[in-house]
Structure 1
Amino acid sequence: MINTCKNCGNHNKGNFCGECGQKFSVTSFTFRHIFHEAFHAFTHADKGILVLMKQLILNPGNVAYEYIAEGKRKKYFNLFTFFVFITAIAAFVESKELAIKESIFHDNNEYGHAFNIYSKILLLIIIPLVGFVIWLLHDKKNGFRYSEYTVFAMVLVSIKSMFDIVANTINYFLTAVFKVYGSVHENLFYAIFLIAFIAYANYGFHKKIKKSSWWQSTLTGIGFVLVQIAIAMFIVWAVFRDFNGLGIFSMYGIRFS
């Protein structure tokens, strides 16, 4: 029996379209179907989001290498989609952390809200900068282009966003339950942890081509953190340069919630 794909219009036999891979038997959405698709997206054995997150924690270098160098693009959840998803979640969690601190300590932290928004937008600058740092620190003849290192940098930034979500969630509950104002991720230990993890990811990535070294990986971790700090300092400078004083955002009709 010849079937027609509802997605691309291709005619073929079997259960799946030979052009786009969609199932021929597409039915109307029901709540059961919605739940199944959402659960499947997060827990699919091959490429669910939770599976990807687990692998990014346990073996980030291998995930990046398989995706970038070996072309295993279907093995994992799409890393570009994951970057957008995890960045949005990180921004949302941080905004909630700022909101709970404002409600308890009554500090109108407009700078914090602005920093949250601007820092996520400037990830588009951070990623190529981190990619350039990694490219400079490694042999240019190892077969990887600067563009490929930019994708690797995106993976590293996505991992940092995952850690930021955990840190800001802890901050939220510390503030809500114990009325503690401190921030888990704004200290030296968090920076050291990031350097160590980025070094681990970089070492695992280059180990696949037998050109990994701990000193290069450590410098990669340091460079990653320094780029983050440089962008943060730029944001602080830009905010104080254009908006002098708390409450000034409202004068420009800008509201953060």
Structure 2
Amino acid sequence: MSTDTTAACLNCQQQLSAGSFCPNCGQRRPHRLTVGHVAHEVFHVFTHADNTILGYIPQVLFNPGRVVEDYLAGRRKRYFNPFQFLLLVLGLTTLVAVALHYYEATGLEIQQRLAGRMPAAELARMVQYFHYLGKYYNLWWLLLALPMYSLFTWLVYRSRGVNYAEAFFVHVVIGSAANLYSVLILLGIWLADLKASASTNINSSLQVVVGLLYLIFIGKHAFELSWPGAIWRAFLAVLLSMAGSYAINTLAFRWYVFG
């Protein structure tokens, strides 16, 4: 198999001139794969890992303020795509929750607690509600939680010049970290064989704590707020988000279970 190095770019069809990259789109000049090239690429993953998943995970977990600051300033090349990463993490969280029957166990525990105090049909729908909540957790988070959290954050921080898209990105980063921690917590809860109600409280508390702490550090480092300003804004944004989540969950639960 041969590769014509004088032909048009395989990505955008621009005629290639001298050099290693296409002058139009930046695509590297095509060449045939060799063992040496593959070995170099594998080595590159581990030695230049900032813009890979392996490099992005510690950045988003331990330095979210810098990630947000760099991304909003346009310094994005060094990072793995944050939006793609969030999708992957949400998929992993959903997979783990479904595999461990986390939400079903919560529904069954509540069903046992309320047995004899509610009609059997409503109890059955309640268990089914929790089943669907776990099965479609990723969609719920993307389509409802993420836009809502972003809205409240924008309302709180807009006086500092933050627009909705920037608030949205803040929660892409926070959501990635929170859901990574959730995976670890869910696995730990499963290994410890805790009751579903206890695990729900632990996981919910984790989400609140992560959201609060990360918003404080992002406000301080990315938005250049004072510590008092970063703290009160983070508390307000998290309280609004908690109230919004509670309202949506309550309405959805009552509509599905009680009709």
Alignment of 1:123-202 (within 5 A): 123=141, 124-138=143-157, 140-175=158-193, 180-182=194-196, 185-187=199-201, 189-202=202-215
Tell me the distance in 1 between the aligned counterparts of 2:246 and 2:42.
39
1:87 maps to which residue? 90
What is residue 12 of structure 1 aligned with on the other side?
17
| Matching of residue 21 in structure 1 with residue 39 in structure 2 | no
Could you tell me how far apart the structure 2 residues matched to 1:120 and 1:192 are? 19
Shift of 1:132: 1.3
Cα distance in structure 2, aligned partners of 1:155 and 1:233 = 27
Q: Which of these residues, 72, 75, 78, is aligned with residue 75 of structure 2? A: 72
- What's the CA shift for 1:57? 1.3
**Is contact 1:126-1:231 (8 Å) kept?**
no
Measured against aligned partners, the alpha-carbon deviations of 1:141-181 in whole angstroms (never above 9, x if no partner) come to 42221222122222222222212211222233334xxxx44
Query: Residue 118 of structure 2 aligns with which residue?
Result: none
**CA 1:14–1:145: 2 relative to 1, 3 Å:** same
What letter is aligned with 1:152?
A: V
Per-residue deviation at 1:16? Answer: 2.5
CA contact (8 A) 2:102 2:196 kept: no
Task: Supply the distance in 2 between the matched residues of 1:27 and 1:237 (Cα, whole angstroms).
Answer: 60
Name the residue aligned to 1:245.
none
Q: Which has the higher helix share?
A: 2
List alignment gaps of at least 5 residues for structure 1.
243-257
Give the drift of 1:204. 2.3
1:183 Cα deviation from its structure 2 partner: 6.2
Deviations 1:115-156 (A, max 9, x none): 113332122121121111112222x34222122212222222
Counterpart mapping for 1:91-110 below 5 A:
91-98=94-101, 110=128
1:24 to partner: Cα distance? 1.8
Shift of 1:5: 2.3
Question: Offset of 1:20 from its aligned partner?
Answer: 2.9
Give the TM-score of the pair, scaled to structure 1.
Answer: 0.73
Counterpart residue number, 1:253:
none
Q: 1:223 pairs with 240, 246, 254, which one?
A: 240
Question: Counterparts in 2 of 1:230-245, with a 5 A limit?
Answer: 230-241=247-258
Contact 1:3 1:13 in 2 (8 A): no
Is contact 2:103-2:131 (8 Å) kept?
Answer: no
Letter in 1 for 2:13: G
State TM-score, norm by structure 2.
0.73
Unmatched 5+ stretches in structure 2: 112-123
- Is structure 2 residue 66 aligned with structure 1 residue 59? no
Distance 2:251 2:149 in 1: 16
Q: Output the CA distance in 2 between the equivalents of 1:173 and 1:232.
A: 28
TM-align CA RMSD: 3.6
